[in-house]
Every structure is written in structure tokens, then in C-alpha cells.
């Protein structure tokens, strides 16, 4: 039973330029999927469509069997309880004028989630490995990696079934990147994960399935191990050949 | 005789030390990588090589470029070095080019300047031909059309090639590249790195390559200096340092890089 | 991922800036004290002819009397109160109209937004004083409130333009998208995320407009379009002292100094504010 089903979706802001063309995708409970593409592939747009921030021009997106209706308030509240997102830039995804507690608690308030918010926030902070007194401070007092953890805490506080990540580690240092990837791997034991990235190495380390997007179309998808070992499409092959490897060339 | 010799370079503000006691040297035709994460001081080091540090920062120590002392050098003195002995390529192709000037003209400027300094000024048709040659050298197809284009009409990869062409126009002995492919797509990155590699060999230039990306550095340079918060952590041949890191920090960096590299190879 | 984050400016500069802030506080503070004082005490009845005509400064009349024998210091104090009323009132009205219009424009469709922006640009091209005069003339009465409303309307165009661009800048930030995916309504987003983030820059602008409003009102009064006595403002004092400026200069110098000191004080405050605006700067 799929959590999210994308059925032949197309999207473009203008009639002549299609950003996404006939994309179909299935996200089931327990999946960790990596969506790989370069700039202009449409991966960010697909993410926005999945979040209900835009409507597709053609095709449909359904959640738990029901089609996504971005205009329907109560439906979207239900949907957003289940699907949350972490963005790329840790410096612009947190409101600089709000304390961390407010930032993390916002989904609880806006989605009208019952229960003790203070407890939920504390447990989210613990889950991402941050001190409880992080909640009293402001975002600028933290490093990029810590801010990303705060962003993740915000995304998981409502206990969603699906976590969407838009280049969530791309802006981080290498050593921090590894730690955040480990965190996401840990969290993905309890929720499905759709990880959008241009970095195949990270996707390979984190995701069970991989989907390759080129110019708005899915050119290849499958189990990560299989696709990496034997890429079928020429673009996938070119992509994999371009990734710099640690094994040194003969000089 | 080294082309670039850095001796105990320190860069600081009134209350913080940003780079401390950095020393390394680069012979003509040699390739050196500066590896560091954010806050390591690697970009500041690159700027210090040509005396381009922001005014609030103080530099001490010695940077000998082609025999001339850069630290404390006057602008006039340094200007003769910049654009002849050394040229730089920056990370962000979008901001490295003047948005209001055609690309051809932006390449023509340093080319003309270099020719004038050599005592053989070129203008008009000869200058245009030089620009076209440079565009071909950076593997840009249809160079006549590109020369007439504005930066926003080109892709990121094309812009970076133009930036490299501008650097080559100076006929430098030393090319400093500060994260030249970080802002580019993976496939474009591979092309630009290949281009840089070929050009550096062909023109026998020295290369100072700054990056946080270990696999990229591994495939581009012969020696590395690993920086952390302004301090040198480890130096040596890239093959040695990467195979047998001595310092804990280097080890953690390599471990991180290796985990992703292994995942690509199929191990998880 | 650039490495080059410049460290904060050297500590010496910070002290100089604090000095200007304090200078501003002192200057504006003097006027606030005088203004508040008028609510409970005045040296003399402003309308009473308590002294000789055009007397110089003396112990009983600290800066002398005007051509009708009324105490000038009393008028000066009342002028402070009027100036502050005008400043606060005009800026508040300008803010209310401007922020609302600017925010709506930032959210509007491209055509509506462009039309609004063009209209605002035309309004801004008119001198503030001219617009204020038009509004006062149209309102048919010349009193303090008509002047305040007129100035408020004149100031609102710039506030709207500024708000529009600030809101647009905030709208593309990820934390706004995050708020949307957290389920927050646009209303909530505007009040919780957008307004607090544009407030620092706007507040500097309001401080500057305060000074402008005070001077503009003085100009209106000078031209006879402002509040009539007993609500005499410094502008009116200047107008009345015009004829006798050589024989009794204090009558013109005093209100002139008062006007200049308040305007400078407010500008210094605005300068100081600009440096206090970020929570990020406060903790360096």
C-alpha cells in the first residue's frame, strides 16, 4: 500500500517549458528513496509538488489513496501531519527572530496537535542529539550542522510517516555531513524518507532505492545497489562516471 | 627555485587569529592542494598569495611569489605580479564575471594587458583572434557566438570556462583555483576538472588548488596541505596522506569521505 | 560554501556608535521631558500677555516674550509636545497605511503589484510637503489633526515601497516555506514570521521619518496651514518672529534650535538603532 503515489505528473510554469514530464513514482511505508538529478532536472519542483505547494498541470499525486488537494485546509492539515520536510540551507530555513522552541513547536501549533508541546519538543531535540537548553536560544548561536539538526527536529516533532529532505546535507562540511546522514539513517527506521540530492555518494550511503531524474523525466530507478553496479541508462552511466572517487589515478 | 614560497604566514584580526604559521612551497609546474572545511582559512590563504586580503585583516610572515615579497607589498608592486605571474579562478561563476560586459571583452582585457606588459601590445583583429583561441582552448564550442554573449546567457559550466580563459589570458606561472567546481553539477565538474588538468600540464603551470572535496583533490594534485581552523594539520604527498593519515583530524576527514566512496562502490 | 566570513568590526568603532546613540537619546529625551511637563505644568498661560513686548531673556521669562508679550519658553515647551504628537501620529498613520499596502502588494498578482508599485513611485516623486499641503487644503480645516493625517498619508508611500521589497525578500526564505509545510496559515505567517523580520529595517526608517514629519509640520505651520494657537508649534513661532528677527532674535533662534535639536537627535537615534537591529549582532 503506497504512502504517496505520483501518477504521470507533468508541470511547467509556462506552456512551452515543461519542468516535469510524465513522472511516476511510488513511495511505500518503510522506503528510503534517493531522488538524484543535476540542476534543471526538476527534482526541487517534484518535491514542491509532493508537498502540495504547487499543483501539477497533468497527472495526479495521491496520499494514502486520496488525491492531494492543496486548497483543502483540513485535508492538508492531515497530510502535513504525515509528511514533513527539511531544507538545504540551514541559514535560511530557521526564522532568525524566533527562539528554537517556537521554531520546533510551530507544526504542533499550526497543525493543532494535542498533547504537551514542551514534552514533544524536548523529545524531538533528544532524538536529533541536541541539548534540551537548545530550545531557549536563537538560531544564530548555532553552527550549520546544529541548525540542520534543529530543522530536522522541527520536521519530526509531529511524528510524520514521511520525511522529505531537499539537499539536506549539501551545505554542510564533510565531517558534519556524515553525522547528519547517520542521524537520518537512524530516523528512517521509524519513517519513510525521500532524499533529494545531486550527490550520489550520500544517496548511496542512505537510500535503499534510487531514482534518477534528467530534464524532468525519470530515466532510471531501482534498488540502489543494482543501479550502481549496473546502470542501464546512458545518463546514469555518465553521472556515475563523473563522480570523483577516492582511489587515486596513476599519475 | 620555488615559484611560491610561504613562510610562517599568519592572518588575523584585532582579536582572532584566522590563519596561523602556515608554511609551504610550490615549484614551477607543481600541483598543491589546500584541503579544509569551512573556517579552515583556506580561502584567506588563497587571497593572501596575491595580497588581496580585506583591509581589516593583518598578514604577517612571508609570501615570496616569483621572488617578490607579497606581504606588505605596495599595490603597484603587486599589480605587476597579478595578471602575469599569478591568476585566480574563483568558486562562483555567477559573480566572477561582470554581468554588463560581453564575455569576449572580459577575456580581451587581461589578454591585452599581458601583451602590453610583454612589450608586444595587440589590438583589434589580433586581440579578437587571441580571445577566440582562448575560448577554443577551454573547449567552448562556437567561440564567436560565446564571445558576443553576456554572462547570464551562459550556463554555469560555460561561465566557469570563461573564467578559466580569463585566467589563462594572463599567461600565469601559477594558477590559484579556489573551489572552482563546488558550485557546478557533477557532470560539469568532471569536465572542468579534466579541462584544468589538461591545461595545467600543457602550459606547464603551477596549480594551487583549494577545496573541501577530498576525492576531487585526490585526483587533481600531487601534494596536499590539510588545514583546520587556520592551522596546518598535516602535509605530504597526496598518496601518502590519504593512504596513511597521521593526524586524527585527517583520519576523520578520510573516514567520512571513504564512507561515501564505499557506498558508491556498493558497500553500505 | 565560501570560507570568507569577515569578523565583526573592531571594538573601537562600537564605542563611537554608542556615543551617537546616547547623543540621540539625550536630545530627544530633553524634548520628551519638556513635552510631558506641559501636561502638568507650564511657566505661564500661553495666551496671557505676561510681559512687555519683545522682551529679552530674563529671570521671569527665560527666553523672553513675543511681540504680543506672551512667554516664549511656554510656547517652546508646547511646541515640543506638538512636535512629538506630530512625529508619533504621522509616523503611526504612515506605518499603518504603508505596511498594509506594502504587504498586500508583495502578495498580489504580478499585474496588481506592478500597478501599485508604479502608483507609489509617482506619489514618492511628489515632495512630502506638497502632498501634505494638498491634503490639508482638501480637508478644509487647518488644525493639528489634519496636519498629522496629511503627513501620515504623505509618508505612507515610502513605507509601502519599503515594506513591499522587504516582504518580498522574506517570502523567498526557506523558513517561510517551512512555516507553510508546518501548516501555518498565511495570516499567521505574516504576523509571526514576516512582520518581526522586517521590523528592524522599518524601525530605522520610522525614526528618520519622525524627524521629517516634525520639520514638515513646522513648515506647514510656518505657511499658516498648521495648528492655530493655543496649539502653536515651532513653525508658527518662527513665522511670528520673522518680522522682528533683528530686534529680538531670540524669538526666532529658540524655536529654530529646538527644531534642529529634535531633528538631529532623532537622526542620531536612527543611526544607533541601525546598529542594534539584529539579534545576531547583539551577541558578538
DSSP 3-state of B149: coil
Q: Is the pLDDT of residue B57 over 60?
A: yes
Q: Is the pLDDT of residue B67 over 90?
A: no
Task: Give chain C positions within 8 Å (CB) of A98.
Answer: 192-193, 196
CB-side neighbour CA atoms (13 Å) of B98: 10
Beta bridge partners, A66, equal: A63
The predicted structure's pLDDT at residue C277: 66
Closest to A23 in 3D by CA, of A58, A48, A62, A68: A58
The predicted structure's pLDDT at residue C15: 45
**What residues contact residue C110 under an 8 Å CB cut-off, 6+ apart?**
none
- Tens of pLDDT, residues B78-124: 888 888 889 999 988 888 899 999 999 999 999 999 998 888 999 88
Query: What is the grid cell recorded at C160?
Result: 509601502
Q: Are strands A192-197 and A162-166 parallel, antiparallel or unpaired?
A: parallel
The predicted structure's pLDDT at residue C5: 46
Note whether ipTM > 0.85 here: yes
Query: What is the grid cell recorded at C35?
Result: 513635552
Cα of A37 to nearest chain B Cα, Å: 9
- Count how many residues are written for chain A: 251
Task: Give chain A positions within 8 Å (CB) of B268.
Answer: 204-205, 225
The arrangement of strands across the sheet holding B174-178 comes to: B86-89, B174-178, B206-211, B31-35, B223-228, B231-237
Are B14 and C4 a contacting pair at CB < 8 A? no
| CATH superfamily for domain C26-282 | MetI-like (1.10.3720.10)
Cα of A107 to nearest chain C Cα, Å: 4
Closest to C131 in 3D by CA, of C242, C212, C230, C228: C212
Compute the distance between CA of residue B30 and CA of residue B238 in angstroms, rounded to an integer.
13
Percent helix, strand and coil across chain B, each to the nearest 5: 45, 25, 30
The radius of gyration of chain A's CA atoms, rounded to the nearest angstrom, is 18
The predicted structure's pLDDT at residue C9: 42
Most C CBs within 10 A among A63, A72, A92, A99, hence the mutation to make, goes to A92
All structural domains of chain A with their residue ranges: 2-242
Q: Is the pLDDT of residue C238 over 80?
A: yes
Query: What is the grid cell recorded at A215?
Result: 530534464
Q: Which residue of A has its CA nearest to C284?
A: A141
DSSP 3-state of A75: helix
Q: Is the pLDDT of residue C142 over 60?
A: yes
Instruction: Please report, for residues A74, B33, B35, B236, C91, the alpha-carbon distance to residue B222 in angstroms, rounded to integers and kept in the order given.
Output: 60, 8, 13, 9, 65
Provide the pLDDT confidence category of residue C83 given band limits of 50, 70 and 90.
Answer: very high
| DSSP letter string, C209-259 | HHHHHHHHHHHHHHTT-SPPTTS--HHHHHHHHGGGTTT-THHHHHHHHHH
Mean pLDDT across chain B, nearest whole number?
A: 91
Asked whether the beta carbons of A155 and A180 are under 8 A apart, the reply is: no
Q: What are phi and psi of A69, to 5 degrees?
A: -120, 95
The predicted structure's pLDDT at residue A160: 94
Burial A107-139 (b: 16+ CB within 10 A, else e): bbebbebeeebeebbbebbebbebeeebbebbb
**Mean pLDDT along residues C126-140:** 83
- C281 or A112: which carries more pLDDT confidence? A112
Nearest CB among A81, A88, A92 relative to C175 is that of: A92
Q: Are strands A58-63 and A217-223 parallel, antiparallel or unpaired?
A: unpaired
Asked whether the beta carbons of A44 and A213 are under 8 A apart, the reply is: no
pTM, two decimals, is 0.85
Are B36 and C9 a contacting pair at CB < 8 A? no
Asked whether the beta carbons of C213 and C205 are under 8 A apart, the reply is: no
Are A110 and C197 a contacting pair at CB < 8 A? no
The predicted structure's pLDDT at residue A48: 93
Beta bridge partners, A194, equal: A33, A164
Size of interface B-C (CB pairs under 8 A): 36
DSSP 3-state of A16: coil
Provide the pLDDT confidence category of residue C284 given band limits of 50, 70 and 90.
Answer: very low
Compute the distance between CA of residue A174 and CA of residue A205 in angstroms, rounded to an integer.
14
Q: Are strands A20-28 and A2-11 parallel, antiparallel or unpaired?
A: antiparallel
Is B4-264 in CATH node 3.30.70.1400?
no
The radius of gyration of chain C's CA atoms, rounded to the nearest angstrom, is 23
Asked whether the beta carbons of B103 and B151 are under 8 A apart, the reply is: yes
Closest to C61 in 3D by CA, of C46, C71, C75, C76: C71
Task: Give chain C positions within 8 Å (CB) of B55.
Answer: none
Compute the distance between CA of residue B113 and CA of residue C224 in angstroms, rounded to an integer.
66
The predicted structure's pLDDT at residue C13: 43
Asked whether the beta carbons of B87 and B170 are under 8 A apart, the reply is: yes
Compute the distance between CA of residue A153 and CA of residue A120 in angstroms, rounded to an integer.
10
Q: Are strands B68-69 and B86-89 parallel, antiparallel or unpaired?
A: unpaired
**B263 part of contact set with chain A, CB < 8 Å:** yes
Q: Is the pLDDT of residue A143 over 70?
A: yes
Compute the distance between CA of residue B249 and CA of residue B239 in angstroms, rounded to an integer.
17
- Count how many residues are written for chain B: 268
A28-42, A44-58, A162-176, B79-93: least confidently modelled range:
B79-93
**What residues contact residue B226 under an 8 Å CB cut-off, 6+ apart?**
B35, B36, B232, B233, B234, B235, B241, B247, B249, B250, B253
Beta bridge partners, B227, equal: B232
**C 162-201 residues inside an 8 A Cβ radius of A:** 173-175, 177-185, 188, 192-193, 196-197
Closest to C217 in 3D by CA, of C249, C250, C259: C259
Closest to A221 in 3D by CA, of A233, A207, A211: A211
Compute the distance between CA of residue C271 and CA of residue C279 in angstroms, rounded to an integer.
17
The arrangement of strands across the sheet holding A209-214 comes to: A83-86, A162-166, A192-197, A32-37, A209-214, A217-223
Asked whether the beta carbons of C14 and C244 are under 8 A apart, the reply is: no
Nearest CB among C2, C10, C11 relative to B91 is that of: C2
Q: Is the pLDDT of residue C283 over 50?
A: no
DSSP 3-state of B24: strand
A209-218, A220-229, C129-138, C191-200: least confidently modelled range:
C129-138
**Mean pLDDT along residues C154-181:** 94
Are C3 and B47 a contacting pair at CB < 8 A? no
Per the rule left: phi > 0, alpha: psi between -120 and 50, beta: everything else, B22 is beta
The predicted structure's pLDDT at residue C38: 87
C172: burial class by Cβ within 10 Å (0-12, 13-18, 19+)?
exposed
Provide the pLDDT confidence category of residue A138 given band limits of 50, 70 and 90.
Answer: very high
**Mean pLDDT along residues A76-86:** 93
Are A80 and C182 a contacting pair at CB < 8 A? yes
Q: Is the pLDDT of residue B195 over 70?
A: yes
Cα B132 from chain centroid (whole Å): 23
Asked whether the beta carbons of C79 and C237 are under 8 A apart, the reply is: yes
Beta bridge partners, A9, equal: A23
Q: Is the pLDDT of residue C279 over 90?
A: no
Compute the distance between CA of residue A20 and CA of residue A12 in angstroms, rounded to an integer.
7
Q: Is the pLDDT of residue C17 over 80?
A: no
The 8-class DSSP code of residue A113 comes to -
Residue with cell 583546520: B228
The predicted structure's pLDDT at residue C156: 94
- Tens of pLDDT, residues A206-239: 999 999 999 999 999 999 999 999 999 999 999 9
The predicted structure's pLDDT at residue A14: 85
Compute the distance between CA of residue C123 and CA of residue C129 in angstroms, rounded to an integer.
12
The predicted structure's pLDDT at residue A248: 55
Task: Give chain A positions within 8 Å (CB) of B186.
Answer: 38, 198-200, 239, 242-243
The arrangement of strands across the sheet holding A58-63 comes to: A20-28, A2-11, A58-63, A66-67
Q: Is the pLDDT of residue C209 over 90?
A: yes
Provide the pLDDT confidence category of residue C245 given band limits of 50, 70 and 90.
Answer: confident
- Tens of pLDDT, residues B227-267: 999 999 999 999 999 999 999 999 999 999 999 999 988 75
Task: Give chain B positions within 8 Å (CB) of A239.
Answer: 186-187
Are C7 and B41 a contacting pair at CB < 8 A? no
A159-163, B71-75, C252-256: least confidently modelled range:
B71-75
**A176 part of contact set with chain C, CB < 8 Å:** no
Count CB atoms within 10 A of the CB of residue B116: 12
Cα of C11 to nearest chain B Cα, Å: 9
Compute the distance between CA of residue C165 and CA of residue B35 in angstroms, rounded to an integer.
40
Q: Which residue of B has its CA nearest to A145?
A: B38
Provide the pLDDT confidence category of residue A101 given band limits of 50, 70 and 90.
Answer: very high
What's the CATH number for A2-242?
Answer: 3.40.50.300
**Mean pLDDT along residues C222-244:** 82
Residue with cell 501531519: A81
Cα of A219 to nearest chain B Cα, Å: 16
With contact defined as 3+ CB pairs under 8 Å, the chains touching A are B, C
All structural domains of chain C with their residue ranges: 26-282
The predicted structure's pLDDT at residue C230: 65
**B200 part of contact set with chain A, CB < 8 Å:** no
Cα of B70 to nearest chain C Cα, Å: 20
Count CB atoms within 10 A of the CB of residue B53: 21
How many H helices and E strands in chain B? Answer: 11, 10
Helix segments in C39-173, DSSP class H: 72-107, 110-125, 128-139, 144-171
Q: Are strands B4-12 and B58-65 parallel, antiparallel or unpaired?
A: antiparallel
Helix (H) or strand (E) holding A209: strand A209-214
- What's the angle, vertex CA C157, arms to CA C152 and CA C161, rounded to 5? 140
Asked whether the beta carbons of A28 and A6 are under 8 A apart, the reply is: no
Compute the distance between CA of residue A165 and CA of residue A171 in angstroms, rounded to an integer.
13
Amino acid at each position: 500500500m503506497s504512502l504517496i503515489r505520483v501518477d504521470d505528473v507533468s508541470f511547467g510554469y509556462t506552456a512551452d517549458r515543461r519542468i516535469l514530464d510524465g513522472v511516476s513514482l511510488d513511495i511505500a511505508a518503510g522506503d528510503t528513496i534517493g531522488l538524484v538529478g543535476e540542476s534543471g532536472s526538476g527534482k526541487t519542483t517534484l518535491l514542491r509538488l509532493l508537498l502540495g505547494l504547487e499543483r501539477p498541470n497533468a497527472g495526479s499525486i495521491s496520499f494514502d489513496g486520496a488525491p492531494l488537494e492543496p486548497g483543502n485546509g483540513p485535508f492538508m492539515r492531515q497530510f502535513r501531519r504525515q509528511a514533513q520536510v527539511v531544507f538545504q540551507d540551514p541559514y535560511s530555513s530557521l526564522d532568525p527572530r524566533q527562539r528554537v522552541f517556537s521554531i520546533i513547536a510551530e507544526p504542533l501549533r499550526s497543525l493543532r496537535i494535542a498533547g504537551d508541546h514542551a514534552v514533544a519538543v524536548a523529545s524531538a531535540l533528544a532524538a536529533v542529539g541536541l541539548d534540551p537548553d537548545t530550545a531557549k536560544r536563537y538560531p544564530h548561536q548555532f553552527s550549520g550542522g546544529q541548525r540542520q539538526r534543529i530543522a530536522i527536529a522541527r520536521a519530526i516533532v509531529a511524528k510524520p510517516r514521511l520525511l522529505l529532505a531537499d539537499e539536506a546535507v549539501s551545505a554542510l562540511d564533510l565531517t558534519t555531513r556524515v553525522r547528519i546522514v547517520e542521524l537520518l539513517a537512524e530516523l528512517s527506521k521509524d519513517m519513510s524518507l525521500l532524499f533529494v540530492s545531486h550527490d550520489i555518494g550520500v544517496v548511496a550511503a542512505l537510500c535503499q532505492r534510487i531514482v534518477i531524474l534528467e530534464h524532468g523525466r525519470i530515466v532510471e530507478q531501482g534498488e540502489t545497489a543494482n543501479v550502481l553496479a549496473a546502470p542501464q541508462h546512458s545518463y546514469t552511466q555518465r553521472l556515475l562516471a563523473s563522480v570523483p572517487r577516492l582511489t587515486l589515478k596513476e599519475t | 627555485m620555488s615559484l611560491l614560497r610561504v613562510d610562517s604566514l599568519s592572518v588575523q584580526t584585532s582579536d582572532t587569529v584566522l590563519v596561523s604559521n602556515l608554511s609551504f612551497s610550490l615549484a614551477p609546474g607543481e600541483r598543491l592542494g589546500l584541503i579544509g572545511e569551512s573556517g579552515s582559512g583556506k580561502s584567506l590563504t588563497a587571497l593572501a598569495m596575491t595580497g588581496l586580503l580585506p583591509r581589516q585583516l593583518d598578514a604577517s610572515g612571508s609570501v615570496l611569489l616569483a621572488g617578490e615579497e607579497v606581504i606588505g607589498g605596495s599595490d603597484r608592486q603587486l599589480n605587476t605580479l597579478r595578471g602575469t605571474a599569478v591568476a585566480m579562478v574563483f568558486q562562483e561563476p555567477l559573480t566572477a564575471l561582470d554581468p554588463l560586459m560581453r564575455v569576449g571583452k572580459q577575456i580581451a582585457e587581461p589578454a591585452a594587458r599581458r601583451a602590453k606588459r610583454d612589450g608586444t601590445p595587440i589590438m583589434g583583429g589580433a586581440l579578437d583572434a587571441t580571445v577566440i583561441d582562448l575560448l577554443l582552448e577551454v573547449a567552448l564550442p562556437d567561440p564567436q557566438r560565446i564571445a558576443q554573449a553576456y554572462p547570464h546567457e551562459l550556463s554555469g559550466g560555460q561561465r566557469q570556462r570563461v573564467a578559466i580563459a580569463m585566467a589563462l589570458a594572463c599567461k600565469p606561472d601559477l594558477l590559484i583555483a579556489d573551489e572552482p567546481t563546488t558550485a557546478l553539477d557533477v557532470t560539469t565538474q568532471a569536465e572542468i576538472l579534466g579541462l584544468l588538468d589538461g591545461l595545467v600540464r600543457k602550459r606547464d603551470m603551477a596549480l594551487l588548488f583549494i577545496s573541501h572535496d577530498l576525492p576531487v583533490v585526490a585526483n587533481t594534485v600531487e601534494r596536499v596541505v590539510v588545514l583546520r581552523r587556520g592551522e596546518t594539520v598535516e602535509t605530504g604527498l597526496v598518496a601518502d596522506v590519504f593512504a596513511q593519515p597521521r593526524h586524527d583530524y585527517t583520519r576523520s576527514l578520510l573516514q567520512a569521505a571513504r564512507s561515501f566512496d564505499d557506498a558508491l562502490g556498493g558497500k553500505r | 560554501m565560501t570560507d570568507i566570513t569577515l569578523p565583526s568590526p573592531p571594538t573601537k568603532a562600537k564605542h563611537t556608535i554608542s556615543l551617537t546613540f546616547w547623543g540621540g537619546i539625550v536630545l530627544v529625551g530633553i524634548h520628551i521631558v519638556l513635552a510631558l511637563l506641559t501636561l502638568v505644568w507650564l511657566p505661564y498661560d500661553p495666551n496671557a500677555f505676561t510681559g512687555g513686548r519683545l522682551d529679552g531673556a530674563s529671570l521671569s521669562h527665560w527666553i523672553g516674550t513675543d511681540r504680543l508679550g506672551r512667554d516664549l519658553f511656554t510656547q517652546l515647551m508646547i511646541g515640543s509636545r506638538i512636535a512629538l504628537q506630530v512625529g508619533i501620529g504621522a509616523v503611526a498613520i504612515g506605518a499603518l497605511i504603508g505596511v498594509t499596502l506594502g504587504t498586500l502588494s508583495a502578495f498580489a498578482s504580478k499585474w496588481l503589484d506592478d500597478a501599485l508599485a508604479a502608483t507609489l513611485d509617482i506619489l514618492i516623486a511628489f515632495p512630502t510637503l506638497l502632498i501634505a499641503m494638498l491634503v490639508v487644503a482638501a480637508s478644509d480645516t487647518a488644525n493639528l489633526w489634519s496636519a498629522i493625517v496629511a503627513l501620515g498619508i504623505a509618508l505612507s508611500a515610502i513605507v509601502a515601497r519599503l515594506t513591499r521589497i522587504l516582504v518580498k525578500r522574506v517570502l523567498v526564505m526557506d523558513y517561510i516555506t517551512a512555516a507553510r509545510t508546518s501548516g501555518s496559515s498565511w495570516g499567521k505567517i505574516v504576523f509571526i514570521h514576516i512582520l518581526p523580520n522586517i521590523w528592524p529595517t522599518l524601525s530605522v526608517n520610522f525614526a528618520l521619518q519622525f524627524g521629517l514629519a516634525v520639520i514638515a509640520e513646522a513648515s506647514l505651520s510656518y505657511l499658516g496651514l498648521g495648528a492655530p494657537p493655543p496649539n502653536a508649534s515651532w513653525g508658527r513661532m518662527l513665522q511670528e518672529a520673522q518680522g522682528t528677527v533683528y530686534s529680538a532674535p531670540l524669538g526666532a533662534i529658540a524655536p529654530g534650535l529646538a527644531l534642529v535639536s529634535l531633528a538631529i537627535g532623532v537622526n542620531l537615534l536612527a543611526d544607533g538603532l541601525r546598529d542594534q537591529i539584529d539579534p545576531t549582532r547583539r551577541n558578538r
